[in-house]
Amino acid sequence: MDAREKILEAATELLAGASAAEVSTRAVCEKAGVGAPMLYRLFGDKAGLLAAVVDRGFEQYLASKRAARPSADPVEDLRSGWDNHMRFALEHPSHYRLMYSPELTVPPAAVQEAHDLLRAILERCAAAGRLTVPPALATQMVMSANVGAALSMLTRPEQYADTRFSQRLRDAVLDSVTRPADADAEADAGREDGAVPVAAATLAARLRADLPPALTTAESALLQQWLEKLSGG
């Protein structure tokens, strides 16, 4: 095991029993059997070390999401993604709490990648005509609800003891941003937001996935801007 792995392993073990504020770089160095200059050379500072610990812990989770093959139903993929997120949080509470801790001043790369992977699924939902809000907004809504639910269950387990809580919240959130596969335009027209935003979000996603050769880059960007406005983005 090289010095980097020794330091990460030591930090992970210490963080399993204490908060980030309580774990010092000195304690990490002592446990890893390395000098402080080595830690600072590899990670820059404590914030860099904590971010690296999170990225290391989330690598297996993200690797499984990267390797996941899309199903024929992107909304079902959203449900599976939510459940996998919750499962990882509950099985790795120390890493998860650290990932979203305000003590972590350097954003871990894992946070952005998880966001991007979710956005990709929601782009598929939009391209299939299944999204009722722009993908960017849907990503924020789903991610904030998923993370909020996980942190609530980890920090206040006595208040969130209902085993159906996560599934019920998942369904409520996804129902608010998606529509059934067999929904028609007439049904959408009766919704408060109307059919135009849905159609605009769908067309925008399809254009992002497959830019028509007849449009120049500038024309495509302008059309995307108009569609984003029409979709409510």
* Tokens encoding 46: 């404590």
Q: What are the structural domains of the chain?
A: 1-44 (1.10.10), 58-231 (1.10.357)
Q: Please, which contacts does 111-118 make with residues 24 or more away whose CB atoms are closer than 8 Å?
A: 111/54, 113/62, 114/58, 114/62, 114/65, 114/85, 114/143, 115/139, 115/143, 117/62, 117/65, 117/66, 117/81, 118/81, 118/142, 118/143
Digit-coded pLDDT (tens) for 129-171: 898 888 889 999 999 999 999 999 999 999 999 989 999 999 9
The strand pairing partners of 178, in sequence order, are: 131
Which of 17-31, 88-102, 169-183 comes out lowest in average pLDDT?
88-102
Q: Give the separation between CA 86 and CA 215, rounded to whole angstroms.
A: 42
pTM: 0.75
Average pLDDT on 98-123 reads 85
User: In angstroms, what CA-CA distances link 117 with 68, 139, 142?
Assistant: 11, 10, 12
